[in-house]
Structure 1
Amino acid sequence: MNRLLCSLVVVLTALSGCNTESGAFRGQPLVAKVDTGMSKEQVQQIGGPPLSITDRTVEPGTCFDYTLTQSGKKQPYNVSFDSRGKVDHTSFMTCAEWSHAQQKAREPSHSGGGGY
């Protein structure tokens, strides 16, 4: 379990490093006001209807894609919901990118050093 968590942290850190402008969007309502445990309805009251809604592929649930806009710049942002419809993750990436990061984190590590 620790290996999975470490892998996920590494992948998410790498992905967030690709986007140096995410700090400029931290004051946006979706970023500043959406918290873990909120319902889909609460999120939509804050951010409006999402651009798309997709079923999650790694863990049961759904994911909302948004595009944040500020000073002419655009930034993808997702709000992910567990199987109960409660926020369990947000990030400055699309739902597809988040799903890919989760899948990568679940792949077995090939750097264990065992005798293959």
Structure 2
Amino acid sequence: MNSPLCTLVALLTALSGCNTDSQVFRNQPLVAKVETGMSKEQVQQIGGPPLSITDRSVEPGTCFDYRLTQSGQQQPYNVSFDSRGKVDHTSFMTCAEWSRAQQKAREPSHSSGGGY
């Protein structure tokens, strides 16, 4: 990679770590302890029963919705499982929002291109 690109990647990585949600909720058990590859049972031992469980719509698997509470603030949080029932993603959004983000990422881009 060239130097400006490396700098940009490093900057974006650093900025993504400054997310308020991750700072406020970083000590919550689901955020601090759930790791990729854990089973549904392990996640429930850490975070308790989820608010809801939904089937994933983009990739086979399921998704657990949780609501984190800290210092009077509430934040959705999801733990997503692959078809084998192992954690493959966590994020500060609902399962529905995560599904929409995955769906959108798979849509072909519609750039205006060269004006043909």
State the TM-score, normalizing by the size of structure 2.
0.80
Tell me if 1:28 matches 2:18.
Answer: no
Over 4 Å off, 4+ runs: none
List gaps (5 residues or longer) in structure 1: 1-12
What do you get for the CA RMSD once the two structures are aligned?
Answer: 1.9
Aligned to 2:107: 107
Deviation at 1:21, TM superposition (A): 3.4
Alignment size in residue pairs: 100
Q: Looking at CA atoms only, which structure, 1 or 2, has the larger radius of gyration? A: 2
Post-superposition CA distance 1:21-70 (Å, at most 9, x none)? 34200110000000000000000000000000000000000000000001
Calculate percent identity across the aligned residue pairs: 89
Deviation at 1:20, TM superposition (A): 3.4
Q: Secondary structure at the match of 1:98?
A: helix
Aligned to 2:4: none
CA distance in 1, matches of 2:111, 2:27: 40
State the TM-score, normalizing by the size of structure 1.
0.80
Q: Secondary structure at the match of 1:21?
A: helix
List gaps (5 residues or longer) in structure 2: 1-12
- Would the aligned equivalents of 1:22 and 1:75 in 2 still touch at CA under 8 Å? no
Q: Which has the higher contact order (CA 8 A, sep 6+)?
A: 1
Q: Which residues in structure 2 correspond to 1:39-58 (within 5 Å)? A: 39-58=39-58
Task: Identify if the C-alpha distance between structure 1 residues 106 and 30 changes in structure 2 by more than 3 Å, giving closer, same or farther.
Answer: same
